Amino acid sequence: MKPLQVSADTAVKLAESLGVPLEHLMHMPQHILMQKIAELAKEEAAKAAPAKGEQE
């Protein structure tokens, strides 16, 4: 399996966000990585939604 085709900055940010070592991230299967990114996006959306409701 070849390493992911992402920039170094993106890889570092993803590793920090996902809480996995950079080496694991670079060799993680793409479908698993996409699933984890989707989970992160849902969490961020859930955090942002209540904040928007409070402002109105």
How much is the pLDDT for 52? 61
The position carrying tokens 């699933």 is 35
Domain ranges of the chain: 8-55
How much is the pLDDT for 55? 57
How much is the pLDDT for 7? 87
**Pairwise CA distance, residues 17 & 56, whole Å:** 30
pLDDT digits (tens, 9 = 90+) for 3-38: 678 888 988 998 998 899 999 988 888 899 899 889
Three-class DSSP labels, 17-50 = HHCCCHHHHHCCCHHHHHHHHHHHHHHHHHHHHH
How much is the pLDDT for 56? 52
In this structure, which amino acid lies at residue 30? Q
| CA angle in degrees (0–180, nearest 5) for 50-51-53 | 65
- At 42, the pLDDT band (50, 70, 90 cuts) reads very high
